Chains A and B, each alone.
Chain A
């Protein structure tokens, strides 16, 4: 399976009437998770989050593509 680059945020049992709404929900959760953390602790949160989500994805081909795309332009 290839890395999904189309809008994909959703929540089971929840109905969204605006196409931007689930992505905005995620973004707010993400920023809120970092609230009141020092730069160092934010970096640790990000690292743990990446490892958790990478394990959830599991497929190394997908993760390899995501890593390459994330490194682009940095």
Chain B
């Protein structure tokens, strides 16, 4: 299927794309389709985004389906080679893999399903600031252990179902809360979440404590860094400092309102 939206009919899961039954691809991609679709559909139904936002459901999930099918096709071709020369290469790789690291990486016994990185999505705001690592605009949020009010927990459990601005702070009590409050009051609300290098408690704002400094490492975050996250936990923009106007522009872009 070349696109997953046809007028008011939206296709998802096996109705939109069929994949080989291994690598946990069928169920995962079906759930990811709905993760991608439902927040967009809600914004359109509520009149807070134009109908063309649904085109990006097709754009992002066709890309993901193609990636899924490519990976499962490659695994199938390695596991059950078609033709004598394919079998010769496959067996040569297996022999070399006994001794050599490079050949072990070529052994394709099935690449487990992982969420797609929508790096080329039209909903992303391109980086203006330099960041290391793979949490680029379009990538799914990485998990990390955090403490919430002193209790151990996980970052991903605090993310999703709404737009959120993750703000990293060495000292959460020094974060300027005024621009964050304005974002929360916008028509498409953005919930601020502060991740602190030290524990703190603030009125009306969730504060997570980066107990093992793994949020800082996995997001290449330092004091002031901010990530704008979509309701499906994908990154859509990031900056070294919060600037309310730039956050609002990125939010407009991520909702088709630009």
Contact = CB atoms under 8 A, between A and B. Distances in A.
A4 B89 CA distance: 19
A37 B85 contact: yes
Interface stretch (B1-9, B16-24, B46-54, B94-102): B94-102
Contacts, number: 56
A4 to B, nearest CB: 8
Given A31-B86, A34-B85, A39-B85, A20 B111 contact: yes
Interface residues of A, number: 23
A58 interface: no
B14 interface: no
Between B83, B85, B93, B95, the greatest number of chain A beta carbons within 10 A of the residue's beta carbon is seen for: B85
Contacts of B148: none
Interface SS of B by simple majority: helix
Contacts of A42: 84-85
B102 A7 contact: yes
Interface in B60-85: 71, 74, 77-78, 83-85
B4 to A, nearest CB: 23
A6 B74 contact: no
B106 interface: yes
B72 to A, nearest CB: 12
Contacts of A30: 89
Contact of B134 (A6, A17, A37, A69): A17
Interface of B: 71, 74, 77-78, 83-86, 89, 93, 95-96, 99-102, 105-106, 108, 111, 114, 117, 119, 134, 139
Interface of A: 4-8, 15, 17-20, 23-24, 26-28, 30-31, 34, 37, 39, 42, 69, 73
Q: What are the 8 tightest A-B residue pairs by CB atom distance, in nearest-first order?
A: A5-B100, A42-B85, A7-B105, A34-B85, A7-B102, A23-B106, A23-B105, A17-B117
6 contacts: A17-B119, A19-B105, A23-B102, A24-B106, A31-B77, A34-B83
Given A18-B111, A42-B85, A69-B100, 17 more contacts: A5-B101, A6-B101, A6-B102, A7-B102, A15-B119, A17-B134, A17-B139, A20-B111, A24-B71, A24-B74, A24-B106, A24-B108, A27-B89, A27-B108, A39-B85, A42-B84, A73-B95
